[in-house]
Structure 1
Amino acid sequence: MGAMMLIIIQVLLLISPSITKSSAQSDVITLPGCPESCGGVTIPYPFGIGSKCAMPGFELNCSATNAGTSTPYLGNYTLLNISLSSGLARVNMPVSYQCYGNTTRTNLSSTYTVDWSGTPFQLNTEKNIIRAIGCNTLASLTIADSGNSYVGVTGCAPLCESLESLTNGNCSGIGCCQATIPETSNYFITSFSDLDADLNTSISYNFTRCGYAMLMENSDFYFKTSYITTNELIGQNTSAVIDWSIGNTTCDIAQGNKSTYACRSGNSLCLNSSTSHGYLCNCSDGYQGNPYLEGGCQDINECLKNNPCSAPAKCHNSEGGYKCSCPFGRRLNHDNKNECELNLALVLGACAGVIVLCFLVLGAYALNEKRKLSKVEEKYFQEHGGRILLEKIQSDQGFGFAIFTKQQIEQATNNFDNANIIGHGGQGTVYKGSLRGQMVAIKKCKITDERKKKEFGKEMLILSQINHKNIVKILGCCLEVEVPMLVYEFIPNGTLFHHIHSNNRDNHISLSIRLRIAHESAEALSYLHFSASPPIFHGDVKSLNILLDENYTAKVSDFGASILSPTDEAQFVTFVQGTCGYLDPEYMQSCQLTDKSDVYSFGVVLLELLICKPVFNFDAPEDERSLSSCFLSAMKENKLHELLNDEIKSEDDIEVIMEVARLAKECLNMKGEDRPTMKEVAEELDRIRKLTQHPWSQGFHPEETETLLNEASHSIEIDHTDYFSLEKKAKQNIAAGR
């Protein structure tokens, strides 16, 4: 694997001359052509696989296992990892054991001797410990010096009287004990002996036959009673920490012989080993890598790794270090060069130039505006027709439309916090926010088509000119995003849908207010169809898109689905859009959005005002799912009273209700050409509202009027002219007081 990595690096150097020497060598950890790892263990020089890849004494073996993997060996011991900077390594040490085959003490044991004499390795005393596990058995570690002369012995004897005396947990002395290692050594032996040769072991023999000695790293150890009662520790290994160093001389002496000096990198330093007579190499401060190789220590980019400069200080990397710089008006702190402080001298000098700067402000303002524009994501700005809007804003000071930056929108909505959501729709999500001291509604659209991208700027110019008291005013937009965001005036009293379908009786609105809302909404749509230039088709008329202010004045909103009146036939074809239950059947078949499509959807809104039920119910039988279908069936069978909302039926203006029902029926005609225009609908609603205020609307003869209204209901299925003649006759009778 290491050879393959080297080949890849060499190929990259050939095909990319721009790669610098330092960048090419920054990841090299071993000699050229030598493996960099074995069995997942990184092998840095001076260690190496084989004598040609290692410094003398640091040769390792990489052997294949039965499982098909490779394992690195330091002598007879499995190597776990190597640390260059600390001069440490970890190896596996076998667990020594002594077992009794029977009560007569037939001894079965496995101990080991480690002899690292003449090698760079020795046992680390601070990081290792000897642990003994068993009952009434002394486990010891005999330590010798480099000449194999006896130095000392350490160990301990775990005691236990019965199985019940053992508990899982820390090594407490009962069944498990531990002892420190007093001397650093490169020669040591594990061994066992009885605490008392005459001690009767028949009691412990019933639940344990083995004692264990474990030379291991001094870390948390969890003792299990099963170690005593089973043989699970036999054949196991522990990890132990060993020290290593270069040679047996100090840095002062080693540096005098350049041919054998191990610290080869130019950015390295020599450290005397604290555990032996040798030395170690480390990279200098500000560098990292392998100090034992030429060019092995490479500069650390402190600014990228862990920026030490406190804001607003800026970090600048340099070879072997870094430096911090401060923005204008600040300087580095005298005591802490990583922090900035106010530069009073410079501030006072700047104040002296304020008078001069005042004369330059007006000229700089125009230049600053151009610089702001340069920060806009030009791609989206151009796609959405931003130039057209910008030219209009600059040329017309009275143009009541603004282009907001993405940062302004995010700040206004607290980064689109869910707590600021006031509505969801198929076209996007609406957030409330504050822009320039004014509460606004910001619509974050989901998608847009390519035609709308190209025409967006032109359409905004037209939509911004809409000025009607019953239409939510478009205040501006944001073009720095893939799909433009629209900014509307904020309407505080929620949607008509909420007031119609809420279970809260406090939200109930009377019939007269419902008529006013319907009339104002119709006036708004009539304005879009007949007064806007060019005409605008809303495309998604529904109760959710009719907002109410604090006085319950209707405000038609959400032009997300709107299109301008097409100027050629090709523009008629678009994706079917709108909301299920409100969609014009003719539009769903032809994909041609017309002014009569809005009339149909408005007819459904009239039904909501009268019946107060969802416009589409997926849980109902198939023939009862659509509110409009149920309404038309009820009208045909003269059963409208069964559909009406109880609160609506309780009001006395049954004649007015029938008038509105008749108008809704006209709006829901399957053929668009047979529907009235929104102007006619608005005029009819105005007439119906006046009907509720006329003197003859009170005190009429109920039986005769009810008969006439029933006839009027039936006449809807017969002939439009007959209906109006019957209606006229009913009013004449009411006016005559009959």
Structure 2
Amino acid sequence: MISSCGIMKRLRSPWCHHFANHRLCSSIMSMLFLLSMVCPSSNASAFTKPGCQRTCGNLEIPYPFGIEIGPNCSISSPWFDIKCNTSFDPPKAYLADTPFEVVDISETQIYVKNSRLQLAMACYGKELDNKTGSSTKISIEFLHSPYTFSDANQITSLGCDDLATVEGASNASVWKPSKFGGGCLSYCCSPVEPNDTGSCPGAGCCRTSIPKGQRYLNVNLSDMHSNWQGFKIFQCSFAFLGMMNSSDFKFRLYDLNDSTTFLNKYTTLTDLPLVLDWTVPGSRNCSELAEDSADLACQQNSDCIDSDTGVEGYRCRCREGYDGNPYLAPGCQDIDECNDDPCDSNGICNNTVGSYNCSCPDGYFGDGRRNGSGCFQVPGSRDKVAIGAGLGSGMGLILLLSTCFWLKRFLKKRKNKEQREKFFKRNGGLLLQQQISKDEDVYGKIRFFTSKELDKASDHFNESRILGQGGQGTVYKGMLSDGKIIAIKKSKLVNEKQVKQFINEVVVLSQINHRNIVKLLGCCLETEVPLLVYEFISHGTLFNHIHDESIEFPFSWSARLKISVEVAGALAYLHSAASLPIYHRDIKSSNILLDEKYVAKVSDFGISRSIEVDQTHLTTQVKGTFGYLDPEYFQSSQFTEKSDVYSFGVILVELLSGQKPVSSNTKEEERSLATRFLLCMEGNNLDSILDTRVADQDRREELIAVAKLAQKCLNLNGKLRPTMKEVAMELESVRMSQTLPTTAKTEYQGVWLRKPKAILISEDDYTSTADTTTPSSNDYPLTIHTS
């Protein structure tokens, strides 16, 4: 703290004064000023003697006065003892053994009050009020004390025909004959109206002063109405002794008729302070005491001042440039005048012992004082020190701002990095790393995108980029910096179980390489919710093409059959040809996407599972979509590859009927499309459920063949359902039958297919990227019976 207080003195240096308006300097000055507020003052001096009480209620009692709680708390005179009466709240202080309450103490005076002793009252024709104890006389004396009446006191008389006389003495031995006499007469012009106002001085009031140095005062109030008016205008008259705070006092003259009303209404008159001058008692003056300083009460850096009241005694006063209690050691202390800014704004203040001096910085001239010539700069002169300081402060400020900017940026980057690491762990990053380390097939196939990269690609995930929304998240269209179009799946807020599903989808898709399965490009785990990046599939879902009649593309039976072949081949690959068999568990038309050439792509592997080769089923919590859910799986919670077959059978029925898997417009037992279809097949009434858009295309044998295949897939006994490999082979057989010559007959599942002519899919209907005559490694051999 001492260092900050020392720095505070440097605030008046040439540099800081020259740049007093500079923001940086002003900030430093403000900060150091606040520090100086808590600096211990070197000028602190004693107020009371050690161990003595400092206050009585709200009044501070400075030495040489003292509260009577122990010996030597006041100077060696009982007149300086203050009695603190704690029965009041707050406590009240009384002067020595007098009935006067002390209300203030200054360096030369003490202010006391006593409404009974300072008031004279006469109500003619009535007895005096015993409660106030007032009379027609005021008599107060402080003989043999260090107190005398100050000339700030006045005698105030209120009435319309009364004489107030005063006499006083300064010494008890000569109080007769009186050394002082005076008085005044209060008068009113009659007649007096009820609302006439008295003023002081003026109508109904007079004042007279008393000279300094009196120790005894006697005030008499006399009735004068018989001398000139012959009648009493108002019954009561009053006289007050004390210092009037206001030179202009007004009252209602008619209130003089009742003393109680008057005193209750004008309480300020009964609360007038009586001002007493005080001195240190003694018979010797200052010049005599200077020869014997042992008896002198004045301490260091103070002067002895002889009493100006005309009676013996003296006072002590701090010398100029010092402050404190001149009666208590260590006496008066040096004042730092520079705290009051006595110098010019451009000047330099230097405190000295007992004084100060002002000077001007380099380049300025004058005495430096605020009330003098100040500091002025000669035109044309240049303050090199100021320029250097300005340049230095400017460079320092730039450096400080640069450092703050760099530090803020560094902290922000570190915070973002910590947040990304936190999200990475929460979104299953550690789990994915474990999966990658265990499975060599996954290693190197997963690309980790940055949050900044995907944010830019999706235009900050603009709502206009939304491709679709589902139970697991929202899909946005985006474009990478290399121009590649992508689809970004932004998951919803996930819990621990959903994180496992998400990581599972990443792992499953990373192992798949099939033309009819959507390709996973990578993921991002450093955002609040995980992100998956897929190849962009442009032509929506199979569900939309089946059920949305507004789509312009004519969704012919040939296109439907081709898509069913592609989806079946993809599922057969998952079940039989992948490194580990994969059960999709959520096969439905809305999870089958179509690209720009209407090639089917199976998507959404969020709840898919890989199983060991020797496993036949998964026992899991039932998940999937109503309408596609295998009833056997629903009852047993055991998911097999035949459960995917059942879901695919529902898709075949959708393609045949053009109806949704669940309908709310039918009876409860017939809401399921699969149930309605099976009832139609059992009743040999397939036509009632066929979509008119395919029934009119002269493909009845193919429709019957696919319907019978769908019936097998929907068998309630999973063991009796075909495998996806068998389903894919049969569908491919039906599709190949479209290209047979007109003389050929095809037997398919007991149904003879006769073709009047060769049927080819034109390029207008669909352009396939697959070679229908030469199967790829992902195709399966076809069994075709001809005759």
TM range (shorter): 0.3 to 0.5
Question: Under a length normalisation based on structure 2, what TM-score does the superposition of the two structures give?
Answer: 0.42
